[in-house]
Amino acid sequence: MAGDLFLPEIIYDYLQRHSLREPPILARLRQETAAHPRARMQITPEHGQFMAMLLRLMGARRTLEIGVFTGYSSLAAALAIAPEGTIVACDISEEYTSVARRYWKEAGVDAMIDLRIAPALDTLRAMQARGENNFDFAFIDADKTNYVNYYENALELLRPNGLIMVDNVLWSGRVADPREQDEDTVALREFNDKLHRDERIDLSMIPLGDGVTLARKR
């Protein structure tokens, strides 16, 4: 998302001035993406910074990303994890991820990022079939109607105490309005209900950007 929808502008500006420490290469990527017709698909810089802090606190070395777009979140993650770490990044667009590749290479982290251009569920199920269940962290920010499927597969690939971060869970507030019945909103509403009931995880939903859920695998 392009900004935090749940804070008054004066507070949001203050937050950025007193918290944000965005590396110049991330700022340039964000500025380039701002001209894209789908720029709102990009996470906010404070979201990227929060993700980076979580990864550092966890000492994460192996992470998973479902939905890359122009690569802001994957670059933020790569800059935060250990140099020997790896990121499996799933997307279906060569066009969008071509921007990501340029910035990953410039930042010197391209060797850390394993970009897989294919339907993400195919990639996730193939990794499950190979017994890959040692991911520390997963970030989900892709098509909303598949959130439940992405979550279930990511949970299988995560180690115990691993963390899933999910973007757009408040969906500009539409999930709280019963009059909103479009496919994406209904899917997100059902996803949020499912996670609230899921005893396999510890859960926290926070009003960061367009709403972020953290789910720790027990």
All domains of the chain, ordered by start, with CATH? 9-217 (3.40.50.150)
pLDDT tens string for the chain (218 positions)?
334 567 889 999 999 999 999 999 999 999 999 999 999 999 999 999 999 999 999 999 999 999 999 999 999 999 999 999 999 999 999 999 999 999 999 999 999 999 999 999 999 999 999 999 999 999 999 999 999 999 999 999 999 999 999 999 999 999 999 999 999 999 999 999 999 999 999 999 999 999 999 999 99
Sheet holding 158-167, edge to edge: 113-117, 86-91, 62-66, 135-140, 158-167, 212-217, 201-206
This model's pTM is above 0.85: yes
The kind and range of the H/E element at 214 are strand 212-217
Instruction: Determine the Cα–Cα distance for residues 107 and 167; give it in Å rounded to an integer.
Output: 24
* Phi-psi group of 61: left, alpha or beta (phi > 0 → left; psi -120 to 50 → alpha; rest → beta): alpha
The pLDDT assigned to 145 comes to 98
The pLDDT assigned to 1 comes to 38
Instruction: Determine the Cα–Cα distance for residues 108 and 105; give it in Å rounded to an integer.
Output: 5
How far lies 56's CA from each of 15, 168, 178, in Å?
21, 23, 39
Q: Which of 208, 214, 213, 212 is nearest to 15 (CA)?
A: 208
